[in-house]
Structure 1
Amino acid sequence: MSTEIDADNGSGPSPDSDNDVKTDTDGPRRRTGPLGDFTVTPRVLVIVAWAVPVGVLGAVAAWLLLRLIGLITNMVFADRISTTVVNPGTVGAPWWVILGAPVVGGLVVGLMARYGSEKIRGHGMPEAIEGVLFRRAVVEPKVALLKPTSAAVSIGTGGPFGAEGPIIMTGGAIGSVLAQRLDVTDDERRALMVAGAAAGMAATFNAPLASVLLAVELLLFEWRPRSFLPVTAAVVVATLLRGPLLGYEPIFGLDTSTWHITATSDALCLLAGALGGLLAVAVTALVYASEDGFLRFGRRLHWMWWPAIGGLIIGLGGLVVPRALGVGYDVIGDLLSGRAALSLVVGILVVKSLIWGLSLGSGTSGGVLAPTFMIGAALGALEGFVLPSAGPGFWALVGLAATVGGVMRSPLTGVVFSLELTHAWPALLPLLIASAAAYGVSVLVLGRSVLTEKIARRGRHLSREYAVDPLEYGFADEVMDPAPVVVRVGDPVPELRDGGLGRQRLFPVLDGGDLVGVVGRGVLRRDPADWVAHVVTDPVAVGPDDTLAVVRDRLAAAGVTVAPVVDGDRLLGLVSVEDLLERRQSVAGANRARASAGGTT
């Protein structure tokens, strides 16, 4: 153990273990904490209580956003006052409106971003992820107002985007702003921020379970009671409010009574899923190729003008396929019900993909989920003209789930979203096959998703893989040095100093058999006359049944690299950072050895 510690850097937690140790008289010792497998305290109930109003506000924000989108769409394209969400391409607007409205909308969004808040640029999910992971879940209050307003302007003037990204950012801002006014920790503020985001999603799509899964897979980066319970509370409240605000029925309810799903259908879902994964790869590459193009072009033109250029692309696409404009819930419904003609299917698949990917790279405001629904359903509908029929809309639904699983890299969310949007419960197994296949293709071909690539381009790194940390299932007494060099009160320090220190850097000080403190190696070297005055009497200590993760956290919190392991006042050994690294390295080495021998990790 070659780790050094200053003698005066010893403040830290008490030496008592957080876990109780119980011994069976006829069996091995069992290690059980006061809360079993979970790290949670009764304070989580307080956060759950605060998540309830967050859920209410998230539902209201979703309702207001959809009404505002409908109002702007009707005013711009139909010259009327109405808050009903309509497709801009179905109201008979003249060609110059279809071409020019997205340009004006992009210009307004650019001005709002430059003079309001640059954080409203983009589709919302990467910004929410950054807020959760890198900004301590702190969001400016003005973002809660500017993000939905800019999204309503962008979508209402024909932008081919969804409302979910902006509502995630808006709901998250609501939870964050509330939490900033409460006496809460960073983790609790993060839970409330994600609770608001998930509540907005649940109210928008009437999909509570998918919203919770999306929060876990895309925003929380953990599955713990401290965050899961508040998020679920907010989602439940928002879903209950969704009924009187926006309706109780599924958005794209399907009649599955005539479906006949066979083993052949299930097998062909592998092919459909792989094609969905390739589509996900293509549109993701298109988004970032567009962003690269705007960045190169931006050397001569301020980014404020980019959304207007993206709007021109949207307008040109709208002239070719007018129904590709806007959120397009009606188009998704036609695709899923099997009512869409081949011309519409191909037009949506090609034009929607192009105008969405190219305009999103301009930094305008709008979400990715609804466009992904549409192009995925279009791909599946196109496959339905070739593959054996299993029922109206079956292959469109399979394509939707596959594309969501590939674009978002959230296969479970893709499956559950598809089921909750349509209530097509018999399609569970086919959707799981297709979504998993698309996810596999996406991760094999692309290094990052449409969400994480944007974050990586800002100099951040994150991993969305879930795994058990080896330090979570090891204990302090398994890796400690059980026979460290100790200093006893009354020991002849000069003699000890001359040959008994070895390479050890921290020395427990014992009075009889009891630990009374610790002293650093430097003190014993430079001040042998009165070293007792430098003994740290309240050292950072851990118990034998503390997990190595607890040991790591205590060392990090105190800024030290080695600690005594104690049972009451009795010294059992020393544990250091090197011991933790050796445990992690031994697990990693075993995995590498298995992989090189042809095993799995």
Structure 2
Amino acid sequence: MAADAQPSTTDEKPLNLWLLAVLGVFTGVIAGVGAWGFRMVIGLVHNVLFLGQFAFEYDANLHTAPSPWGWAIIFVPVIGALIVAWLVGNFAPEAKGHGVPEVMDAIYYHDGIIRPRVAAVKALASAFSIGSGAAVGREGPIIQIGSAFGSTVGQLIRMSSHDRITLIAAGSGAGIAATFNAPLGGVVFAIELLLTAISARTLMVVSAATVTATYISQRLIGVDPSFNIPALEQPVFQLDRPEVLLLFIPLGVIVGFLSVVFIRGIYGMEDIFERIPGNYYTRHALGMICVGVMMYILLRTTGHYYIQGVGYASIMDVLQGVLTNPSLLLLLLVLKLLATSLSLGSGASGGVFSPALFVGATGGAAFGHLCMAMFPGLEIDLATFAIAGMAASIAGSTGAMLTGIIMISEMTQDSTVVLPLILAVSVASAVRRGVMRESVYTMKLIHRGHIVTEGLQSPFLGMRWAGDVMAWNFTVQGEGATVPKGITQTILVEKDGQVVDIYQPASQVEPGQSPETTRYITICERDDLPTVLHAMDTADSDIALVSRNPTASTASDVIGVLTRSRLMMVLQQQKKLL
């Protein structure tokens, strides 16, 4: 008897759009409140460990006062490291690192399933990492927190994997928007990096979550942009001197190479620490005592810790023209790269967004000094180079070009430098991709053997019907008839109207498989190809018979044959268009 399977492939039917939108709003509420709560916990940890004060208020845009612990401040990052190692090692190993690769892995390889406990463990572990001085950001954790909640909702309420992934992307975008007060940036981040399909349905859900989270964040945290900077000297970029725009090409090249150093530094340091004898506790403590030493030396020599935590105070110094010494800018760039690599490489929990902003700001400002020395009549504020460097660093390291452009514009509320910003972002992204294909998010997945596409791609496979690509050249013969050798077309063997055997030409048979099979599925010509592939996998079949009446599955109703080899041919054609 022929094995048959119906083409229904989704684990559950898609939810009603309005119900899904409501769940998106609910996810946005959690992301908004979570972003505020996460900041409060970071503030408490930071104040207790650095200043010995039990207080939640902590403005990351202002430098931390020198600690009363004196030289013992070196061991504060170590205390945080031991707590992080205990939390991550015992409760949620996926909370280690910067988080976004784990979200992408869940989307592309685990049907959007993220353990609920990840949100709590990630929040606590990242709060202790950032609060104790690890050179990491708070955006990666809130992305993982928001996505974990979206996934949890998607597991509690029966829905398709696609809808669950949409909620994950909504939670991630909402977290980004709430953290940086950048709603457009949050939406674009979800589109560029997390959504597997972009449509009015998915955008509605992501937008609902993002708007909700941003509104709540503004009510709880404030409406000010992430970085308040003075007005640039030129209210509109110098359109009368187009040659000035060319300066942002070499800036993009430099930041592109810095992005390569940034990515390879993090994962190279991770490999180094894995080879050091000991365990998670000792390795992470070793990495963080190195960061502590750098912090203390900077405090004694410059008066500020500079590289500790998210580093927003240092970025503010650059943007407001307080930090202008080119040598110090370059020193801080190098030390931040090293501190971030030591923090994440040894096992900290935190994001890479903020360190990338730091690298872009200091590198951009240092390049601005060089340009002013070479062209004394140049009338561009250093903040212009710093802002363009920040956007280019985000785009180069993460691969999210649109996110870099839009988010930095929102975070600084400065739209006067859009032209140089776009130019620097494009060049930096091209340089990084020319040197290495992997971004800071995808490299970890590549190491696991998991491939994730970078950039928006049209779903050509989903735009083809089975009837568009099926083979028409097949014949039907009765049971008992002799099947000739060297057949050139598929032969269906029928008995009492039912297909009982299928013979394929040798050219269409995979190595090691028999040309004869009884395992097939019946589908209709209006089934899309992803549906067909899933149905074939479910039935463990390599052949789909396209039928006018799939429920009856009689030989007389068959109008075409679709094999895996033919589907692979369609995929090869699609690849040429990407």
Q: Within 1, Cα distance between the matches of 2:473 and 2:36?
A: 66
Q: 1:277–1:403: 8 Å Cα contact kept in structure 2?
A: yes
Q: Which residue number corresponds to residue 109 of structure 2?
A: 134
Q: Which residue number corresponds to residue 365 of structure 1?
A: 349
Q: Which residue number corresponds to residue 542 of structure 1?
A: 524
Q: Within 2, Cα distance between the matches of 1:221 and 1:379?
A: 34
Q: Structure 2 residue aligned with 1:269, among 248, 252, 262?
A: 248
Q: Within 2, Cα distance between the matches of 1:144 and 1:475?
A: 40
Q: 1:517–1:539: 8 Å Cα contact kept in structure 2?
A: no
Amino acid in the other structure paired with 1:91: A
Does residue 1:349 correspond to 2:333, yes or no?
A: yes
CA deviation string 1:80-132 (max 9, x = no partner): 23322245953121432431111111111112222232222111112222222
Q: CA deviation at 1:140?
A: 2.3
Q: CA deviation at 1:571?
A: 4.7
Q: Which residue number corresponds to residue 186 of structure 1?
A: 161
Does residue 1:233 correspond to 2:212, yes or no?
A: no
Amino acid in the other structure paired with 1:273: G
Amino acid in the other structure paired with 2:424: A
Amino acid in the other structure paired with 1:364: A
Secondary structure of 1:486's aligned partner: strand
Secondary structure of 1:520's aligned partner: strand
Q: How does 1:233-382 map to 2 (within 5 A)?
A: 233-256=208-231, 258-259=233-234, 260-262=237-239, 263-297=242-276, 300-321=277-298, 322-342=305-325, 344-382=328-366
Q: Within 2, Cα distance between the matches of 1:171 and 1:474?
A: 34
Q: Structure 1 residue aligned with 2:44, among 68, 71, 80?
A: 71
Q: 1:167–1:200: 8 Å Cα contact kept in structure 2?
A: yes
Q: Within 1, Cα distance between the matches of 2:435 and 2:347?
A: 25
Q: Which residue number corresponds to residue 45 of structure 1?
A: 18
Q: 2:140–2:352: 8 Å Cα contact kept in structure 1?
A: yes
Q: Which residue number corresponds to residue 389 of structure 2?
A: 399
Q: CA deviation at 1:399?
A: 0.8
Q: Which residue number corresponds to residue 99 of structure 2?
A: 124
Q: CA deviation at 1:556?
A: 3.9
Does residue 1:418 correspond to 2:408, yes or no?
A: yes
Q: 1:540–1:554: 8 Å Cα contact kept in structure 2?
A: no
Taking a change above 3 Å as real, the CA distance of residues 476 and 144 of structure 1, as seen in their structure-2 partners, is closer
Identity of aligned residues (%): 30
Q: Which residue number corresponds to residue 9 of structure 1?
A: 3
CA deviation string 1:280-306 (max 9, x = no partner): 111212112211110110xx2012222
Q: Within 1, Cα distance between the matches of 2:546 and 2:83?
A: 62
Q: CA deviation at 1:252?
A: 1.1
Q: Within 2, Cα distance between the matches of 1:129 and 1:399?
A: 26
234-243 or 127-136, which deviates more: 127-136
Q: How many pairs align?
A: 536
Taking a change above 3 Å as real, the CA distance of residues 280 and 43 of structure 1, as seen in their structure-2 partners, is same
Amino acid in the other structure paired with 1:141: P
Taking a change above 3 Å as real, the CA distance of residues 275 and 221 of structure 1, as seen in their structure-2 partners, is farther
Q: How does 1:147-166 map to 2 (within 5 A)?
A: 147-166=122-141
Q: Within 1, Cα distance between the matches of 2:83 and 2:415?
A: 42
Q: 1:125–1:451: 8 Å Cα contact kept in structure 2?
A: yes
Taking a change above 3 Å as real, the CA distance of residues 105 and 481 of structure 1, as seen in their structure-2 partners, is closer
Taking a change above 3 Å as real, the CA distance of residues 211 and 434 of structure 1, as seen in their structure-2 partners, is same
Q: Within 1, Cα distance between the matches of 2:203 and 2:382?
A: 37
TM-score by structure 2 length?
0.85
Q: Within 2, Cα distance between the matches of 1:424 and 1:498?
A: 74
Q: Structure 2 residue aligned with 1:199, among 174, 184, 196?
A: 174
Does residue 1:54 correspond to 2:27, yes or no?
A: yes
Amino acid in the other structure paired with 1:382: A
Q: 2:306–2:313: 8 Å Cα contact kept in structure 1?
A: no
CA deviation string 1:466-494 (max 9, x = no partner): 4445544555445433342124xxx6x54
Amino acid in the other structure paired with 1:73: H
Secondary structure of 1:68's aligned partner: helix
Amino acid in the other structure paired with 2:177: A
Q: Within 2, Cα distance between the matches of 1:230 and 1:157?
A: 36
Does residue 1:92 correspond to 2:66, yes or no?
A: yes
Amino acid in the other structure paired with 1:427: V
CA deviation string 1:31-79 (max 9, x = no partner): xxxxxxxxx9672332211111111011111101111111221222223
Q: 1:508–1:564: 8 Å Cα contact kept in structure 2?
A: no
Q: Which residue number corresponds to residue 512 of structure 2?
A: none
Secondary structure of 2:112's aligned partner: coil
Q: How does 1:465-484 map to 2 (within 5 A)?
A: 465-468=455-458, 471-484=461-474
Q: CA deviation at 1:13?
A: 3.5
Secondary structure of 1:364's aligned partner: coil
Superposition RMSD on alpha carbons, in Å? 2.9
Q: Within 2, Cα distance between the matches of 1:587 and 1:458?
A: 26
Q: Within 1, Cα distance between the matches of 2:77 and 2:443?
A: 26
Q: CA deviation at 1:562?
A: 2.9
CA deviation string 1:257-279 (max 9, x = no partner): 63243422321111111111111
Amino acid in the other structure paired with 1:507: L
Q: Within 2, Cα distance between the matches of 1:554 and 1:422?
A: 49
Q: Within 1, Cα distance between the matches of 2:436 and 2:367?
A: 24
Q: CA deviation at 1:161?
A: 1.3
Secondary structure of 1:464's aligned partner: coil
Q: 1:506–1:562: 8 Å Cα contact kept in structure 2?
A: no
Q: Within 2, Cα distance between the matches of 1:408 and 1:216?
A: 13
Amino acid in the other structure paired with 1:464: E
The answer for unaligned runs of 5 or more in structure 1 is: 1-6, 15-39, 523-535, 592-599
224-233 or 279-288, which deviates more: 224-233
Q: Which residue number corresponds to residue 55 of structure 2?
A: 82
Q: Within 2, Cα distance between the matches of 1:137 and 1:42?
A: 16
The answer for unaligned runs of 5 or more in structure 2 is: 299-304, 372-377, 504-517, 550-555
